[in-house]
Amino acid sequence: MRIEIVTTWKNESALAPHFLDHYRYADKINVILDAGTSDDTLAICARQPNVSVDPVLFPDGPAFEERLEKLNALYRSLRCDWVFAVDSDEFLFPLPWGTNPRPAINLEHDFDVVPVRMFQVHRHRADADLDPQKPAVPQRRHGSAVTGTAGERTQPLIVRGGLDGEWSPGRLAFGKPGLRVSPRVFGCAHWAKADLPPGPERNKYLDDPLLF
């Protein structure tokens, strides 16, 4: 079973060590790197044997459509069993917490898509500073589940390789109706505000509940 990661980055030196360590079990991590990157992201990636970097010069600004188009094109070029489409601050893991990821995804052989439940994680008052020498996910387990119109939101971030499909904007949907969706769900720790500096915004989250 071959697992590949696809992700688009720009100036991600702070998150890259956490990300690359978390997904070290993947056979390949495909980084679409904005050629305007000016920090140490490329050097960090070069130290990891399972990382492939594709520098791309995107237009100035967020360039969301261009990044999604490149992500989908990369997906279509891969020859593997499973593809995880994640941002630099998204850390997937099987539920319940602590399950080994490769055996867990191996159970999904009858399905095309594994839904992922999104968790916005924040620093709890008992948490230490983020440490790239330690596993990423256990460092931030408090926060709130991302919700949608039907309750807790899931996204199709794990899909079988070689399908006739692509991700929609925001990676909220993939492919056409009729794909086989697993009843099992992975989790995703979203680190967008995982380590805010001291101040009123961090204080809002210090007592958030344990999520997983």
Tell me the DSSP string of 131-200. Answer: -TTS-SGGG--EEEE-EETTEE-EEEEEEETT-S--BPGGG--BS-TT--B-S--EEEEEEEETTPPSSH
Per-residue pLDDT band for 60 (boundaries 50, 70, 90) equals: confident
Confidence (pLDDT) at 150: 55
Residue 18 has a CB neighbour count (10 Å cut-off) of 24
Confidence (pLDDT) at 153: 85
Residues 107-136 have pLDDT tens digits of 999 999 999 999 999 999 999 999 999 999
Which residue is listed with tokens 């807790």? 152
Averaged pLDDT, 160-182? 96
So where are the chain's domains? 3-205
Q: Are 114 and 99 in contact (CB under 8 A)?
A: no
What are the CA-CA distances from residue 129 to residues 31, 45, 193, 194 (Å)?
A: 26, 23, 13, 10
Task: Provide the residue count of the chain.
Answer: 212
**116 - beta bridge partners?**
155, 186
Residues 144-162 have pLDDT tens digits of 998 765 567 899 999 999 9
In terms of Cα–Cα distance, which of 1, 178, 182 is closest to 101?
1
Q: Reply yes or no on domain 3-205 having CATH 1.10.10.
A: no
In terms of Cα–Cα distance, which of 136, 174, 178 is closest to 154?
174
Confidence (pLDDT) at 152: 74
Number of H helices, E strands in the chain: 5, 11
Sign of CA pseudo-dihedral 145, 148, 152, 158: negative
Confidence (pLDDT) at 18: 98
Q: Are 15 and 90 in contact (CB under 8 A)?
A: no
Query: pTM for this one?
Result: 0.95
Per-residue pLDDT band for 64 (boundaries 50, 70, 90) equals: confident
Averaged pLDDT, 3-32? 98
- Whether 62 shows a pLDDT value over 70: the answer reads no
Per-residue pLDDT band for 55 (boundaries 50, 70, 90) equals: very high
